Amino acid sequence: MLAEQQMWRYRFAKTFRRGLLYAVLIAGALVMMLPFVWMVTSSIKAPHEITLRTIQWLPAVPQWENYKVAWEAAPFDIYFKNSFIIALTVMGLDVVFSALAAYAFAKLNFFGKNFLFLLFLGTMMIPGEVMLIPNYITMVNFGWIDTYASLIVPWTVSVFSIFLLRQFFLSIPNELFEAAILDGCGKFAYLIKVMLPLSKPALVTVMLFKFIGSWNSFLWVLIMTNTPAMRTIPVGLTYFVSDVGAYYNYLMAASTFAMAPILILFLLLQKQFIQGIARTGLKG
Amino acid sequence: MRLKKLFLLSLVLCLALSATALAQTQITFWHAMSGELGNAIDYLTEKFNAENPDIVVESIYQGRYGDLNTKLVASLSAGTTPTIAQVYENWTDAFFRHGVIAPLSHYMDLTEAEFNDYIEVFRGMNTWDGELYTIPYNKSNWVMFYNADLIPNPPETVEEFLQIAKEITEQTNGETRGFGIRPTLELFHAFLYVNGGDFLDADLNVTFNSPEGKEALELMIGMLEDGSALLIDGYENESFGDEMIAMYIGSSAGMPHVENSVGDKFQFKTAPIPRGKRPGAPFMGTNIALFNAATEEQRHAAGKFVKFLTNTENTVYFAIKTGYLPVTYSGLNSAEYQQFLADNPHKAAVANLDAFGYGYWQPTIAAWEEARSAIGMAVERVFLGEPIDLVLEEAQMMVEEAIEDMLSQRY
Amino acid sequence: MLRIPAQMKTKKYWKETLEAYLYLLPAFTILGLFSFYPVVKSVYMSFFDWSLLRDTQYFVGWENYEKIIGDPVFRRAIMNTARYVIGYVPISIALGLIVAVLLNSKIRFRGPLRVAFFLPWVTSSVAISMVWRWIYNQHYGLLNMMLAGLANAVNTVVEFVSFGHLSEVWQFSNPNWLMEPQWTIINLVIIAVWQSLGYNMVIFLAGLQNIPHELYEAAEVDGASPWQSFWKITLPLISPTTFFISIISIIGAFKLFTEVYVLYTGRPGPVNSGMTIVYYVYRNAFERYRMGYASAAAYILFAIIFVFTLVQMRASKRRIHYGS
């Protein structure tokens, strides 16, 4: 009898907690989504329906041709192609170079390790605005203006990625490393065979952020290129806003199709966070 | 392997390009015109290139004005400037003081008649050292936009304006306010000027900290206090289109946005800014500058191109396509442009011929960026309820400091 | 910094050093060219009256630094930046962790919910700034509309419950978010938290995958509540990730600029209420062409962040649990 009551109470508490959890999460998600809902619905509104005192969430007549107009307002086909080439290359190279560096910082013992790490970290503390001009001059000297090289090479290493991967590598127990080395496994082989598979969520995170960062990068692209043929999507988005007004509907339409690829990438990658790698036997 | 191919390909391309360059003069024009405006420039550029086989002009959009400025600064520091670019007057002044631009009009072979054809106000804004250094290009002015359904006859004087603003508010029980105020330097300038004042005098002395300046600010504050005006943030055309305000003073360059937000909800028109002690029409927009790094051939090619851009036919074409003003009297008076105004009566005030007679503009000094943020901040402070005298006093000090700083710099 | 450990003299140590440098080579090359070099160059520039429009530059020693420290606008910028850092960093980390933990448990709609929280990080800043300018608009913005509705509902309920004795308890003042300076930093914090929540969530999610599941199972068998296992297992074991996020967030927050620039359309907020250190740098570099002066301001910022980071690293050394 008593046990049954307890059981019941326990179940009630559990259901209540669940319910509360869902309520909080869904409310949170709605708040997060609200600006988007407005963005996406505005993308199919007529211009006079957008900024009104009595908010109008949906257009009287959906203006699907906004997407067509937005697409044709700037050479978006070229911009998309460039954005893909640049973001994918940057993403691929960065994860390789950063994993190598992070491995050294996490697992090797070497002269000047802490100093170098601080030095790397220090570069994040300088605002990009003061490095822009010196970097521009470097690019001019290299003859890299208006080439993919200027848009890709400087971004193939980021301290952010190195630091993030280092943190993950550090949390993989050292005992394993030492055992593997004693067994004659080379350090590089260990990185490839053990570290990387175990750090999949971190690698995916690094790649995702790198891709997004590159995809949305604006000022750098604008400064390092002179012709539309080399530019990327964010440059196209500036077409719709000026000092004297904004073409909200076209801007929102363009922003919607500009973010679609990232959204797809996220949907593909987010499964990696569910795997919850069973690390049985790896604990220290 | 692919890299090698690419390399070879680019080598061949380079050679091919340099071969044609022997015969042709290449020039680049950097601008901040996107959308319809950019299309108009592209069209004119192609037309010019077709007519002038010995010159190849590349007109390229380089982001909005702020971005264009950053790009110009970067290119100046690396010696990779374009041949010509759109510039604001205070950029021109900085460039002029540092000696990095050349007088464009020297390379245009202007006859006296052609020179005088450029509208006087615009010549004034583009003159340095007594010379037409830069050429006016996309010029706009500030006018009064009004809801013609509510206001059949626009106010001509400040008194009428205050009266109408009050009436509209009363008529609509405050649903629609008479006037929309954004506390900006431009709006302050508009009321200051018609009240007989200005920001600086010819010798760069501060003149806005004066009874005229104080009255202009009091007028705006008064309209807020008696409810005949609404304080707005965001673009004015949005509140205007939603009938929250019946009048606002803003840039004629915003015309397409006004048309968009108004839709067919009501009729709107434009009128000159109401006159007070004197009439006044503020002119703005950018001009074209020629950079020093250009070779002699490029300078002449650029001169030819800019002359082409601003000839009667093309300045009218650009004005009709974009809503900017023709930059010459012949363009303004052309049958085509006059017909355009007749067909679009809501734009009539924009090209009001009288306005060119009493046009004025913001100071064209390098320190203006700093000075304008000081004055803009003063206007904001007044609207936040700070005492006008104190605020103007402090703004004067800041502006004087900025000017002093500019004059004491090494060039 | 280069303390020489005992193992230093061994051959193995030097061999490993060489090996480590090989791993670091690509990173070092790229960073060397595009980060270290411009840093060194701009440190050098900071001691000059360095104009971007002039070929000759003039050495001025510490003059730039002295002027900046004496400039009330710069002091204002430091205060604004500090306010933002204090407001933004703790909230965004805490919320990111909470959402990550909740969305790591086995619940329905986990995928779509994660997408919802991550969306803000994905959008372009141009669109985001326009959306938020609309949200904050005094007259037709979403925020005031929602607050007014809420105030109305509260008032109605209070009036009803108090039998009409209490009416209008919440007098909604229709704030002008973008034009009243007291809101500027708050506006920016709200946007930044909204935008970075999903970003922190993703990093935390990745970190959570590193915590062995059987620890939770063991805790549950021992009768620990979810609350207890959060404090006893999740928090300590996620500490390397938390450390990472806090360092990155603080550095990022100190560099606040773009958000101000786009939200206030190229101005530092009403009456300089959004003037930040990097805004100050930008303005001097690109609007006033004074690169030396701007660089000096950037290095003052660097010094501030560097000290913060060192303190943070020291303080957290004992509290981070790596692996074992």
Residue A277 has pLDDT above 50, yes or no: no
Does the distance separating the beta carbons of B244 and A238 come in below 8 Å? Answer: no
| Domains: count for chain C | 1
- Burial (CB < 10 A; 0-12, 13-18, 19+), residue B53, is exposed
Chain B touching partners, 3 or more CB pairs below 8 A: A, C
Using the Cβ of B376 and the Cβ atoms of chain A, whether some distance falls under 8 Å is answered with no
Greatest alpha-carbon pair distance for chain C in Å reads 87
Extract the residue ranges of chain B whose pLDDT is less than 70. 1-22
Does the distance separating the beta carbons of A223 and B71 come in below 8 Å? Answer: yes
pLDDT tens by residue, B112-137: 999 999 999 999 999 999 999 999 99
B chain contacts of residue C139, beta-carbon cutoff 8 Å: 230, 232, 239, 244
Q: Give the mean model confidence (pLDDT) for residues A262-270.
A: 87
Residue of B nearest to A130 (CA): B74
pLDDT tens by residue, C94-148: 999 999 999 988 788 888 899 899 989 888 888 888 899 999 999 889 999 999 9
Q: Is the pTM of this model over 0.95?
A: no
- Asked if residue C57 belongs to a domain, the reply is no
Q: Does domain B143-282+364-407 have CATH number 3.40.190.10?
A: yes
Give me the pLDDT at residue A198, please.
87
- Between helices A65-73 and A248-269, what is the axis angle to 10°? 90
Give me the pLDDT at residue B1, please.
46
C chain contacts of residue B233, beta-carbon cutoff 8 Å: 133, 136-138, 176, 178-179
Give me the pLDDT at residue A281, please.
33
Q: Does domain A68-273 have CATH number 1.10.1510.10?
A: no
* Å between C52 CA and nearest CA of chain B: 5
- Burial (CB < 10 A; 0-12, 13-18, 19+), residue B405, is middle
C chain contacts of residue A283, beta-carbon cutoff 8 Å: 212, 324
Residue C9 has pLDDT above 70, yes or no: no
A41-55, A167-181, B97-111: which has the minimum mean pLDDT?
A167-181
The total of other beta-carbon atoms located within 10 Å of residue A13's CB is: 11
Q: Which of residues 73-132 of C touch A (CB under 8 A)?
A: 99, 102-105, 107, 110-128, 130-132
3 state DSSP class of B271: strand
Q: Give the mean model confidence (pLDDT) for residues C270-295.
A: 94
Count of pairs with CB atoms under 8 A, one residue in B, one in C: 69
pLDDT tens by residue, A11-28: 888 888 888 888 889 999
Cα(C153)–Cα(B315) distance, rounded to whole angstroms? 58
Give me the pLDDT at residue A274, please.
56
pLDDT band at C318, cuts 50/70/90? confident
Give me the pLDDT at residue B349, please.
81
Using the Cβ of B56 and the Cβ atoms of chain A, whether some distance falls under 8 Å is answered with no
Give me the pLDDT at residue A284, please.
29
Give me the pLDDT at residue C3, please.
55
What is the complex's ipTM, to 2 decimals? 0.89
A122 backbone dihedrals φ, ψ, rounded to 5°: -60, -35
Q: Which of residues 211-270 of C touch A (CB under 8 A)?
A: 212-214, 226, 240-241, 243-244, 247-248, 251, 254-255, 257, 265
Give me the pLDDT at residue C125, please.
82
B19-139+283-359: CATH superfamily: Periplasmic binding protein-like II (3.40.190.10)
Cα(B169)–Cα(B179) distance, rounded to whole angstroms? 9
Cα(C324)–Cα(C321) distance, rounded to whole angstroms? 7
Q: Measured between CB atoms, which of B28, B71, B237 is closest to A245?
A: B237
Give the domain range for residue C133: 72-138+175-316
Does the distance separating the beta carbons of C295 and A129 come in below 8 Å? Answer: no
pLDDT band at A6, cuts 50/70/90? confident
What is the residue-averaged pLDDT of chain A? 89
Measured CA to CA in angstroms, residue B369 lies from A221, B406, C64 at distances of: 26, 11, 20
CATH number at residue C211: 1.10.3720.10
Give me the pLDDT at residue B4, please.
53
Give me the pLDDT at residue B18, please.
52
Quick check: A112 and C24 in contact, CB under 8 A?
no
Q: Give the mean model confidence (pLDDT) for residues A149-165.
A: 96
pLDDT band at C316, cuts 50/70/90? confident
Domain boundaries, chain A: 2-65, 68-273
Domain boundaries, chain B: 19-139+283-359, 143-282+364-407
Q: Give the mean model confidence (pLDDT) for residues C238-267.
A: 93
Cα(C303)–Cα(C295) distance, rounded to whole angstroms? 12
A80-89, A264-273, C107-116: which has the minimum mean pLDDT?
A264-273
pLDDT tens by residue, C149-195: 999 999 999 988 888 888 778 888 889 999 999 999 999 999 999 99
B chain contacts of residue A137, beta-carbon cutoff 8 Å: 77-78
With a pLDDT cut of 70, the percent of chain A lying above it is: 95
The sign of the dihedral angle between the CA atoms of B285, B291, B297, B300 is: positive
Task: Choose the mutation target among A49, A63, A243, A251 for the interface with B, i.e. most B CBs under 10 Å.
Answer: A243
Cα(C220)–Cα(B58) distance, rounded to whole angstroms? 70
Residue C323 has pLDDT above 80, yes or no: no
- Asked if residue C10 belongs to a domain, the reply is no
Residue A273 has pLDDT above 80, yes or no: no
Q: Measured between CB atoms, which of B61, B77, B253 is closest to A244?
A: B253
Using the Cβ of C285 and the Cβ atoms of chain A, whether some distance falls under 8 Å is answered with yes
- Asked if residue C170 belongs to a domain, the reply is no
Which residue's entry shows tokens 């615009």?
B122
* Å between B153 CA and nearest CA of chain C: 28
Quick check: C288 and B401 in contact, CB under 8 A?
no
A chain contacts of residue C132, beta-carbon cutoff 8 Å: 35
Q: Give the mean model confidence (pLDDT) for residues A239-244.
A: 87
Q: Measured between CB atoms, which of C52, C176, C267 is closest to B77?
A: C52
Quick check: C276 and C84 in contact, CB under 8 A?
yes
Measured CA to CA in angstroms, residue B32 lies from A55, A254, B26, B39, B44 at distances of: 33, 19, 20, 12, 15
With a pLDDT cut of 70, the percent of chain C lying above it is: 97
Quick check: B95 and B103 in contact, CB under 8 A?
no
Give me the pLDDT at residue A140, please.
96
Give me the pLDDT at residue A280, please.
33
Quick check: B248 and B236 in contact, CB under 8 A?
yes
Does the distance separating the beta carbons of A240 and B35 come in below 8 Å? Answer: yes
Instruction: Note whether B19-139+283-359 and B143-282+364-407 share their fold.
Output: yes
Supply angle C-alpha C210, C212, C215, rounded to 5.
140
Cα(A138)–Cα(A142) distance, rounded to whole angstroms? 6
pLDDT band at A276, cuts 50/70/90? very low
3 state DSSP class of A78: helix
A chain contacts of residue C145, beta-carbon cutoff 8 Å: 55
First to last CA, chain C: 27
Using the Cβ of A15 and the Cβ atoms of chain C, whether some distance falls under 8 Å is answered with no
